[in-house]
Structure 1
Amino acid sequence: MAAARTHHPDADTLPIERAHGEAARWHAGQTRRSGDPLLTHCLAVAAIVADIGMPPLVICAALLHDIVDTPCPPGRVSEHLGQEVADLIWAVRRAELTAIPLGSLTFDHTRPSVQPTREEAVLAIRLADRLHNMRTIAFVAPAKQYRKARETIDILAPLARAAGLTEVSRELHDLSAAVLRPSASASGVNPRLLTLLTLLLPAPQRARWQEEWHAELATLPTRRTRIRFTFRVLLGTPSLSLTLRRPVRRERRW
């Protein structure tokens, strides 16, 4: 609320209170992998969106960006907060960030009276959602950590930078690099060796196993454990390759 008033001193912030009430109601009992209430994620995303200067309507949509995964009745959001908020929530869910041209975005903090475009509002919420998820990525499975970090550093951080959100871009990059860096420097040859070993596998399977092996390697704390893991993969890859190449036997249906 304080951030919203700072950037938009003349705006009505009461809808933010109503959106918080709806989020608290429909996310009640839901928790994150960390064990924290899911509502803490909604609040964090809304706070990031408010800090970068988005108006109250966008903050409301940020608070409710996950409400489609609750028993909230269709039409309730538009009834209580307006159709524009409801439409923005669905736009956030459907957005394909890879389709956004990097040169089409500009967040102007010096002109709070200028309303963001739909595209800019969607991007603000998606970036805030990913930023908080990256801050809490330690509670995610290693393979998924690696996937999310790679996507963030390749797609979302550049989008944030192109939009002028340099601090958001920097934090996204740094958080992702912290996940990816162990696999890039763990013990010198280990990651490269794992990549070479995937060449023994059928081509359609290589990307999956490379991702899983590198993600597992990144979680190992010492050089000795990384070497042991690499040695186990080295010994097991020929057998895995034979298994993956074996034709699938289909049962005859009568």
Structure 2
Amino acid sequence: MAVVRAHHPETDVSLIEHAHDEAAHWHEGQTRRSGDPYLTHCLAVAAIVADLGMPPAVVCAALLHDIGDTPCPQGRVVEHFGQDIAQLVSAVRTVMLGAIPPGRLTLEAADPDGRPTREEAVRAVCLADRLHNMRTIAFLDPAKQHRKARETLDVLAPLARAAGLTDVSRELHDLSAAVLQPASSAFAVTTRLLALLTLLLPAPQRARWREEWRAELAVLATCRSRTRFILRVLLGTPRLSVTLRRPACQER
């Protein structure tokens, strides 16, 4: 919410809150391969989209992008969120199901008012979805990891770069390269240190944070930057552990 307000100060975020509640309701009981509630993925994708400066309607579509895999009745998204958001969700799902290859999300003329075009919005959600999936790719079997990493490196990272999403492109590239190329021994040692730090966290949360930290570490090119990252994690983990153990946080 803070990021959305920073990019769009005058916006009403109540629709985003409604989209969150709707996603939480329909994804209840679903989990990811990591064991985390499926809603954590929807939130991560929405956060990435918000960081890109996308307007609230696109953030809503990011929160709802996988609602088609739930018992949510057809037409409910239109009823609650309007035709535009429903069409965005449908278009994203069409791409993810392979009906439109990711590489076909070509660039188009910008809206004269500065608003993202429909294709730009769909592309942002799809790239955010792949980015978070690449951050947690360790939970897939090796063959699927390799296949997803190769597609990301060959198609999606260049697509993000062509769209001007340089940071997204760089992270997609580095995460894919980390899967396709063996890690150095120094990287492996640092990864083991991160795994040890997660022992300070509540058991149900460890896998999630271990993989997210590992993904962030993978995009750092120098020993100095990795060392700084480890120090930040080391200093912040005790506070994070306390936060995650609070009852209110556990309920969320």
Please state whether the residue corresponding to 2:72 is helix, strand or coil.
Answer: coil
Instruction: Give the TM-score normalised by the residue count of structure 1.
Output: 0.68
Closer, same or farther: CA 10–64 of 1 in aligned 2, 3 Å: same
132-141 vs 74-83, greater mean Cα deviation: 74-83
Aligned 1:1-254 pairs, distance under 5 A: 1-95=1-95, 96=100, 97-101=102-106, 103-104=107-108, 114-182=114-182
8 Å contact from structure 1 (residues 98, 155) kept in 2 = yes
Displacement, 1:105? 7.0
Displacement, 1:81? 1.0
What is the percentage of aligned positions where both structures have the same residue?
71
Displacement, 1:100? 2.6
Displacement, 1:69? 0.2
Instruction: Give the TM-score normalised by the residue count of structure 2.
Output: 0.68
Displacement, 1:99? 1.5
8 Å contact from structure 1 (residues 88, 118) kept in 2 = yes
8 Å contact from structure 1 (residues 105, 120) kept in 2 = no
Paired position in structure 2 for 1:191: none
8 Å contact from structure 1 (residues 42, 63) kept in 2 = yes
Instruction: Look up the equivalent residue of 2:73 and give its one-letter code.
Output: P
Deviations 1:46-78 (A, max 9, x none): 000000000000000000000000000111111
Please state whether the residue corresponding to 2:182 is helix, strand or coil.
Answer: helix
8 Å contact from structure 2 (residues 23, 63) kept in 1 = yes
Instruction: Return the alpha-carbon distance in structure 2 between the equivalents of residues 100 and 130 of structure 1.
Output: 14
8 Å contact from structure 2 (residues 103, 159) kept in 1 = no
Instruction: Return the alpha-carbon distance in structure 2 between the equivalents of residues 117 and 36 of structure 1.
Output: 33
Consecutive unaligned residues in structure 2, runs of 5 or more: 185-252
Instruction: Look up the equivalent residue of 1:87 and give its one-letter code.
Output: Q
Instruction: Look up the equivalent residue of 2:19 and give its one-letter code.
Output: A
Displacement, 1:12? 1.7
Closer, same or farther: CA 134–105 of 1 in aligned 2, 3 Å: farther
Instruction: Look up the equivalent residue of 2:52 and give its one-letter code.
Output: I
Consecutive unaligned residues in structure 1, runs of 5 or more: 186-254
Instruction: Look up the equivalent residue of 2:105 and give its one-letter code.
Output: I
Instruction: Return the alpha-carbon distance in structure 2 between the equivalents of residues 153 and 142 of structure 1.
Output: 16
Paired position in structure 2 for 1:224: none
Instruction: Look up the equivalent residue of 2:140 and give its one-letter code.
Output: V
Instruction: Look up the equivalent residue of 2:172 and give its one-letter code.
Output: L
8 Å contact from structure 1 (residues 46, 63) kept in 2 = yes
Once superposed, what is the RMSD of the aligned Cα atoms?
2.0
| Corresponding pairs, count | 180
Tell me which stretches of 4 or more aligned residues in structure 1 moved more than 4 Å: none
